[in-house]
């Protein structure tokens, strides 16, 4: 969150050690701080009956996180694009749906609920003095995910990509790589594109449009001194994707083409967010990687 502040007419108060006197500074800027957080939740919701709470929450989230994708009651909010700042804004909007006498909302209420449906249940129960019980046992969910995504019977071993030769596929390996805009992913992309044993590297990248996705990969490579994407480099193809969607957000044509060609999937686009619940992590980081086609899948 970026808040514009006026130029200070005097320096911030500091202790004899040179550190800020936090309580004094907070008191000095109390009005500015309150105003900033008040503006975050300035949604004119009015008097909303219980049966309309879900509709209002959807409108609220769509105004904060504008996306073309339709927001449903059971849409995972992290996958939809709700980050920590958006979560804070939504939290202040939810506060306006509750009576003034309601106790302070938990800081992680948006992350803990995770969907519009759960947020709606939380608000309605709070209105009637009830608590929303968390029936989700994360250990049980972990075991369920292990069972669900541990069946590799239909996946055949692929050729080696250790640079020692082309292995079983004399035409070369076709790699699907996620996370190419990160530190590890950029180095893997650079490594793969230099191997004679690799025929093609498909980079699945999030982005508002294809051009933005290509720019992100190019920038990630150049920032690490690895050389950007060259116009004549036909080995690397960047595709705009949404990993949590069906067919990875690809067109049916692109998906079928890649599914027929791919020999190895290197998935390194894991989210590092300690506020994210396991159900949200699974959708974008595990569920979308389950594919009926036969290939070797490696996650780092």
Looking at residue 68, its pLDDT comes to 74
**Residue 39 has what pLDDT?**
58
State residue 284's pLDDT score: 63
pLDDT at residue 231, as a whole number: 64
The HSE-up count of residue 61 (CA atoms within 13 Å, CB side) is: 31
- pLDDT at position 25: 87
Q: Rounded to whole angstroms, what are the CA distances from 132 to 84, 96, 112, 218, 281?
A: 22, 18, 11, 46, 22
- What is the pLDDT, as a whole number, of residue 56? 93
**Residue appearing with tokens 């019977």:** 153
The pLDDT value given to residue 40:
58
Tokens of 285: 């980081």
β-pairing, 198-205 vs 236-240, is parallel
The 3-state secondary structure of the chain, one letter per residue:
CCCCCCCCCCCCCECCCCCECHHHHHHHCHHHHHHHHHHHCCCCCCCCCHHHHHHHHHHHHHHHCCCCCCCCCCCCHHHHCCCHHHHHHHHHHHHCCCCCCCCCCCCCHHHHHCCHHHHHHHHHHHHCCCCCCCCCCHHHHHHHHHHHCCCCCCCCCCCCCCCCCCCCCCCCEEEEEECCCCHHHHHHHHHHHHCCCEEEEEEEECCCCHHHHHHHHHHHHHHCCCCCCCCCCCCEEEEECCCCCHHHHCCHHHHHHHHHHCCEEEECCCCCCCCCCHHHHHHHHCHHHCCCCCCEEEEC
Q: What is the mean pLDDT of each run of 10 residues along the chain (300 residues)?
A: 75 84 86 68 74 94 84 86 85 88 85 90 91 72 79 50 44 90 92 93 85 90 89 82 76 88 86 68 60 46
Paired tokens of 38: 């008040």
pLDDT at residue number 168:
45
- Taking phi over 0 as left and psi of -120 to 50 as alpha, with beta for the rest, 72 belongs to beta
The per-residue pLDDT for 158 is: 44
Give the number of C-alpha atoms closer than 13 A to the C-alpha of residue 183, restricted to the C-beta side.
Answer: 0
* pLDDT score, position 154: 53
Position 20 scores a pLDDT of: 86
Give the model's pLDDT for residue 174: 93
CA–CA gap between residue 72 and residue 185 (Å, rounded):
32
């Amino acid at each position: 969150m970026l808040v514009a502040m006026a130029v200070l007419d005097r320096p911030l108060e500091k202790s004899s050690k040179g550190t800020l006197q936090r309580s004094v500074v907070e008191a000095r800027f109390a009005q500015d701080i309150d105003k900033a957080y008040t503006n975050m939740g300035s949604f004119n919701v009015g008097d909303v009956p219980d049966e309309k709470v879900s509709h209002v929450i959807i409108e609220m989230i769509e105004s904060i996180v504008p996306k073309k994708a339709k927001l449903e009651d059971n849409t995972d909010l992290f996958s939809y694009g709700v980050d920590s700042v958006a979560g804070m804004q939504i939290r202040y909007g939810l506060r306006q749906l509750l009576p003034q006498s309601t106790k302070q909302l938990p800081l992680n209420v948006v992350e803990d609920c995770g969907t519009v449906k759960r947020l709606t249940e939380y608000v309605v129960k709070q209105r009637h003095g009830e608590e929303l019980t968390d029936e989700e046992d994360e250990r049980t969910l972990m075991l369920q995910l292990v069972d669900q995504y541990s069946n590799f019977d239909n996946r055949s071993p692929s050729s080696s990509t250790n640079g020692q030769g082309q292995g079983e596929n004399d035409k070369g390996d076709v790699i699907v790589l996620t996370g190419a805009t990160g530190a590890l992913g950029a180095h893997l992309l650079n490594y793969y594109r230099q191997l004679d044993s690799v025929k093609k590297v498909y980079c699945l990248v999030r982005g508002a449009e294809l051009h933005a996705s290509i720019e992100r990969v190019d920038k990630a490579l150049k920032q690490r001194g690895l050389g950007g994407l060259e116009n004549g480099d036909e080995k690397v193809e960047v595709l705009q994707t949404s990993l949590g969607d069906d067919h990875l957000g690809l067109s049916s044509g692109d998906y079928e083409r890649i599914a027929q060609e791919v020999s190895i999937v290197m998935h390194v686009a894991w989210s590092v967010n300690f506020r994210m619940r396991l159900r949200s992590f699974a959708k974008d980081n595990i569920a979308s990687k389950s594919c009926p086609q036969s290939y070797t899948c490696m996650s780092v």
